Amino acid sequence: MCAALFLVPRLLGGQMAQAPPSLTPRDSALHALNRLAYGPRPGDVTRVAQMGVMKWIDQQLDPRHVDDDSLKEIEKGYQILHESSYDLVGLLEDARKAREERLKRDPASVDQPGDQPPKLRRIAGEFPELAVVRAAYSQRQLQEVMVDFWTNHFNVFAGKGLDRALLPDYIEHVIRPRVLGNFADLLIATAESPAMLFYLDNWQSVAPGSIPPNLVRAEIRARSYGMGNSMRLDSAVARQPKGINENYGRELMELHTLGVDGGYTQADVIAAARIFTGWSIEKPRQDPQFVFNDWAHDYGEKTVLGVRFPGGHGRDEGIKLLKMLAMNPATMHHISWELCQRFVADDPPDGCVDDAVMAWKKTNGDIRAVLTAIFHGPDFWARSNLSGKVKTPLEFVASALRASGAEPDTTFRLAQVVARLGEPLYQHVAPDGYHETQDEWVNSGALLDRMNIAVGLAAGRLPGAIVDLNRVVSPMANHDSLVSTIDRQLLGGAMTPHTRQVILDQIKDVSDSNAARNFAVGMALGGPDFQKQ
């Protein structure tokens, strides 16, 4: 009967108003809070169950109307939000010049970690911290989940040179405003972002033989009037990029759009790289902005995936290619599959992916519509998919903060906790971003560390946060009530009978009610039930 109910919306591509009847309102609420949010805070399951889970989902899909003033208050403590790429590049450049000066004075001197200006260090620590804090404390939870999704999908490694300064602008102004918008818009914005242009080297990809106009002029001057320093001119010419760089063209197809089995060839990669010649960064070391250098562009004819790009076109053919890729069936499938993996199951069911692709086609890649299709599909609500995914380190830490009612302190150390579990944010070197599946995160060392973090948190020792357990579970002499309260308040009711029994056994001879409470909370958060979502 249940299956029959779901057939109708899938065939009509319509929407369901209600969560599936097979789950209780509390089960559905907990599931939605686990997947569309970073887990429930105390009271969230009841609140969402009472208002109706589908209504809550609709609200999350339209975050502009979700009040988020409390997060704005926290964000005021983050200086990084007031620094532009211009400021950050300035800081980096000052540091670079200071290092050069130092090496000139003392060529044998070595770099010390303390050489970095304190402001730069502080800012470097603030930005990953902000990601954890937003995940834990924003009311716009789905928006934050999607920020994490796209940040990994369009990964930029913050440790690569200039990207240290470019990454904050990339996340704030390229990714964040577009996480629920149109995919092609997001794709184009990443393609034109100085952070991506630098990370995947496209800013230095030029048509072979091209020389920037200022060097051409200088050369003419030098030749006609015998002016200028021709040695210096030669070395400036020698330093110029000499040809195309395939890096962006390849990752664009393999990771950002079609997927590795998306049917493109090495010839397509080269043609795409030629199309993006001249997409570069203006004043990279002063005020980095996107620029299209027509002098560096290859104006010849190209063919990508069998489609002819006639000669004589400039920046417009890059946009044409990005739009074409955004609507390619392989892209729709690849990204729908990734979204279903994030929200439904590590090995996503075909039906869910098909629903998402259909929504993509109908709306020309409206991400909100694609998500809506996933959240209304039967696979999302299938009982077999409940608690079926293991949390990533970011999900584990954010959900533990939420469950325990912890508040961030001002030391910016939460991101270090996430890093210790294997997910240093913005530090994934390769362009594929952090993975979503449990085999990436579940290993014995990281698991022991999760237990350590849980025990520390329960004892009020979580670096970067202030924990006051009394606000969520007060110590009580009756252990049955204690464990039930922990289950309700911290685990959203997901505690298995086995966990319950083990905790009761382990605390039965602990007479101090404070110690018993802390021990039980540590086990609940470090135990297997809380690793799952």
Partner 1 sequence: MAITRRGFVRAGGVALFSVGLDPLFMDRAAYALSCRPTVLPSNRPVLVCLFQRGAVDGLNMVVPHGDGIYYQERPRIGVPAKDVVDLDGYFGLHPSLAALKPWWDNKSLAAIHAIGSPDATRSHFDAQDYMESGTPGVKITADGWLNRYCQHDQAHQSTAFRSVAFGPELPRILSGSAPALAIGDLKTFGLRVPQNAQGDRVTRAFEALYQGSATGLLASSSEEGFEAARQLKAADPTQYQPEHGAVYPNGRLGHSLLEIAQLIKADIGLQIAFADATGWDTHVNQGASDGQLSARLKELGDGLAAFATDLRERMSNIVVLTMSEFGRTIHENGNSGTDHGHATAMFALGGPVSGGKVLGKWPGLAPEQRYEGRDVAVTTDFRDLFAEVLTRHLGSGDLGSVFPGYTVDPARYIGAIRA
Return the residue of 59, 84, 363, 452 that touches partner 1, per CB under 8 A. 452
Stretch of 62-70, 80-88, 304-312, 422-430 contacting partner 1, by CB under 8 A:
422-430
The burial of 313, by beta-carbon neighbours within 10 Å (0-12 exposed, 13-18 middle, 19 or more buried), is given as: middle
Residue 244 touches partner 1, criterion: CB under 8 A: yes
Buried b (16+ CB within 10 A) or exposed e, 423-440: bbbbebeebebbebeeeb
Q: Which is nearer to partner 1, 56 or 519 (CB)?
A: 519
**Is residue 330 involved in binding partner 1 (CB under 8 A)?**
no
Q: Which of 438, 460, 493, 504 binds partner 1 (CB under 8 A)?
A: 438
C-beta closer to partner 1: residue 2 or 515: 515
Residue 481 has which token pair? 């009530």
Does the footprint of partner 1 cover residue 430 (CB under 8 A)?
A: yes
Write out the two tokens for 175. Answer: 């990714």
Q: Name the nearest CA neighbour of 204 among 247, 241, 255.
A: 241
Least Å from the CB of residue 443 to partner 1: 4
The residue range among 53-61, 77-85, 409-417, 524-532 that interacts with partner 1, by the rule CB under 8 A, is 524-532
Determine which residue in the list 52, 181, 422, 493 makes contact with partner 1, applying CB under 8 A.
422
Binds partner 1 (CB under 8 A): choice among 166, 343, 441, 467: 441
Q: What is the spatial distance between Cα 326 and Cα 252, in angstroms, rounded to a whole number?
A: 11
Q: Is 455 a residue that touches partner 1 (CB under 8 A)?
A: yes
- 69 Cβ contact partners less than 8 Å away, ≥ 6 residues apart: none
Spatial distance between the Cα atoms of 348 and 353, rounded to a whole number of angstroms: 7
Distance CA 185, CA 363 (A): 13
Which of the 8 DSSP states describes residue 532?
A: B
CB-wise, 48 or 255, nearer to partner 1? 255
Shortest separation between residue 135's beta carbon and partner 1, angstroms = 19
Nearer to partner 1, 16 or 455 (CB): 455
Per CB under 8 A, the list member of 99, 242, 368, 413 interacting with partner 1 is 242
**What's the Cα-to-Cα distance from 399 to each of 8, 37, 46, 394, 497, rounded to whole Å?**
35, 9, 17, 8, 21
Structure letter (DSSP) for residue 176 = G
Cβ atoms of 417 and 457 within 8 Å: the answer is no
Query: Closest CB to partner 1 among 151 and 204?
Result: 204
Helix or strand or coil: residue 396?
helix
Other CB atoms within a 10 A radius of the CB of residue 382 amount to: 20
Residue from 3, 11, 238, 477 touching partner 1 (CB under 8 A): that is 238
Is 517 in contact with 475 (CB distance < 8 Å)? Answer: yes
What gap in Å lies between CA 484 and CA 461, rounded to an integer? 24
Q: How far is the CB of 499 from partner 1 (least distance, A)?
A: 6
> Restricting to residues 44-63, which ones interact with partner 1 according to CB under 8 A?
none
Of 108, 109, 315, 300, the residue nearest 202 (C-alpha) = 315
Q: State the Cα–Cα distance between residues 253 and 244, nearest whole angstrom.
A: 17
Residues 362-421 interacting with partner 1 (rule: CB under 8 A): 384, 390, 420-421
* Least distance in angstroms from the C-beta of 185 to partner 1: 26
Closest to partner 1 by CB, 185 or 449:
449
Q: Which of 58, 68, 407, 432 binds partner 1 (CB under 8 A)?
A: 432
Instruction: Enumerate residues 6+ apart whose C-beta is below 8 A from 489.
Output: 42, 43, 403, 472, 473
In sequence order, the β-bridge partners of residue 466 are 407
Nearer to partner 1, 141 or 204 (CB): 204
Binding of residue 451 to partner 1 (CB under 8 A): yes
- Distance of closest approach, residue 498 Cβ to partner 1, in angstroms: 5
Cα R_g (the chain), whole angstroms: 26
Beta bridge partners of residue 458, listed in sequence order: none
CA distances to 319, 394, 470, 507 from 518, rounded to whole Å, are: 57, 23, 10, 10
Among positions 224, 266, 410, 511, the unique one binding partner 1 when judged by CB under 8 A: 266
> How far apart (Å, rounded) are the C-alpha atoms in residues 342 and 519?
32
Closer to partner 1 by Cβ: residue 344 or 367:
344
- State yes or no: residue 526 binds partner 1 (CB under 8 A): yes
Cα torsion for 401, 426, 440, 531, to the nearest 10°? 0
Question: Rule CB under 8 A: which of 183-212 touch partner 1?
Answer: 201, 204-206, 208
Query: Of 176 and 532, which CB lies nearer to partner 1 in the complex structure?
Result: 532
Q: Which of 241, 262, 288, 349 binds partner 1 (CB under 8 A)?
A: 241
- For the bound state, the minimum distance from the C-beta of residue 508 to partner 1, rounded and expressed in Å, comes to 12
Of 447, 484, 488, 504, the one binding partner 1 (CB under 8 A) is 447
Neighbouring residues of 532: CB distance < 8 A, sequence distance ≥ 6: 387, 388, 389, 390, 391, 494
By CB under 8 A, how many residues form the interface with partner 1? Answer: 57
Q: Residue 281 in 3-state DSSP?
A: strand
Does the protein bind partner 1 through residue 34 (CB under 8 A)?
no
CB of 363 to partner 1, least distance (A): 30
Verify binding: residue 103, partner 1, rule CB under 8 A: no
User: Considering the rule CB under 8 A, would residue 267 count as an interface residue with partner 1?
Assistant: no
C-beta of 263: minimal distance to partner 1 in Å? 14
Stretch near partner 1 under the rule CB under 8 A, chosen from 19-27, 235-243, 284-292, 335-343: 235-243
Residue 249 or 365 having the CB closest to partner 1: 249
Contacts with partner 1, residue ranges (CB under 8 A): 201, 204-206, 208, 238, 241-247, 250, 254-255, 260, 266, 384, 390, 420-422, 429-430, 432, 438-449, 451-452, 455, 496, 498-499, 502-503, 505-506, 519, 522-523, 526-529, 531-532
